[in-house]
Chain A
Amino acid sequence: TQLLEQSPQFLSIQEGENLTVYCNSSSVFSSLQWYRQEPGEGPVLLVTVVTGGEVKKLKRLTFQFGDARKDSSLHITAAQPGDTGLYLCAGLNSGTYKYIFGTGTRLKVLA
């Protein structure tokens, strides 16, 4: 069974701090997505990474896909209260067409 483990599960930080969220698996994925979800709403896509070693930047967010395409990280610089939410990673197994979702990281940024 494929699993995607995210760490940490919960994170509460002050505005202006930096943080990194990790997404790890023993399985290889053909692509990996990061989403942010607010309570009662659908996950909103932040980024898709496809190539091993790929780094993508989205303003203060930096996403990295591991060289072996088994893990990924999300780094937020100078976090703001608007970054608060549930962050989910999801890996695509192109053989089974299934997306495997991570366990989620619940981030709270305090003003």
Chain B
Amino acid sequence: DSGVTQTPKHLITATGQRVTLRCSPRSGDLSVYWYQQSLDQGLQFLIQYYNGEERAKGNILERFSAQQFPDLHSELNLSSLELGDSALYFCASSGTPPETQYFGPGTRLLVL
């Protein structure tokens, strides 16, 4: 158990819909990262937050947004969903300095 929690574990929705994925980092970690992993693909970095502020941005679509709240949990919002958004979405957290990331169990999103 990495200490990072993600909900929900599974999500099935329809094209055009909007969903919210939630992540709670390890106790004491200020950084949260979001990744997308499509079938048999590598991890694609989406976005990073540090203590409530956006710190780094990767290949995140404009339809996607995220935020980190004062209690340090983070949410990833995916809107106008398309079939191609079906993937595993992982959250990771790290401390300071950020030498190592610890991953959550992921949310499997299926868009029908």
Given A42-B2, A45-B100, A48-B99: A98 and B48 within 8 A (CB)? yes
Residues of A within 8 A of B98 (CB): 92, 94, 97
Chain A nearest CB from B3 CB (Å) reads: 11
Given A98-B56, A102-B42, A103-B42: A40 and B106 within 8 A (CB)? yes
Chain B nearest CB from A95 CB (Å) reads: 10
**Sample of 29 A–B contacts (CB below 8 Å):** A33-B100, A33-B101, A40-B88, A40-B108, A42-B4, A42-B103, A42-B104, A42-B105, A43-B90, A43-B103, A44-B103, A45-B102, A45-B103, A48-B100, A50-B99, A88-B42, A88-B43, A92-B98, A92-B99, A96-B56, A97-B48, A98-B45, A98-B48, A99-B45, A99-B101, A100-B45, A101-B43, A102-B42, A104-B42
Interface bin, chain A: 20 to 34
Residues of B within 8 A of A74 (CB): none
Bound form: Cα–Cα A98–B42 in Å:
15
Q: Which B positions have Cβ atoms within 8 angstroms of A?
A: 2, 4, 31, 33, 42-43, 45, 48, 50, 55-56, 58, 88, 90, 97-106, 108
